[in-house]
Copies of this chain bind each other. A is one copy, B any other.
Amino acid sequence: MISLNYRDSRPIYEQIRDGLRKLIVTGALGADDKLPSVRALASQLAINPNTIQRAYNELEIEGYIYSVPGKGSFAAGDRDGDKTRVTELLGKLKEIVSELRYLNVGEEILLAAVKEGEKHD
């Protein structure tokens, strides 16, 4: 479900957070699907439960999951865009396009990549 890369300089909790978010936005985790418990996922990845909790906590703040004490954590359903997040992502997208153009990547390739990213609907 989630894999860790210890060579990656990014903190483990960020890798987990981003990995889970990716599963949700691509539809691999549907609305109200149950996520593994903090202890179960920690055990599976052989890391500390605190680290999982931190990732879950950030995802809940972002609105991608919701947690219910005693029951578990679940993927949030589709929702209208958080304006802040959308603005942030559009900014990143523009920067990436800038750099790709500098690297002489053609517009056709860019548009193809956009369609790729849209596959999951």
Contact = CB atoms under 8 A, between A and B. Distances in A.
Interface residues of A, number: 39
A8 interface: no
Given A24-B102, A102-B24, A102-B25, A97 B117 contact: yes
A99 B92 CA distance: 12
Interface string A94-121: 1111111111110101110110111011
A85 interface: yes
Instruction: Give the oligomeric copy count.
Output: 2
A39 interface: no
Given A26-B98, A98-B26, A117 B93 contact: yes
Given A25-B98, A93-B100, 15 more contacts: A21-B99, A79-B103, A81-B103, A86-B105, A90-B105, A90-B113, A92-B92, A93-B96, A93-B117, A97-B116, A97-B117, A98-B120, A101-B120, A110-B114, A114-B114
Closest 4 CB pairs of A and B: A97-B117, A81-B103, A25-B102, A94-B117
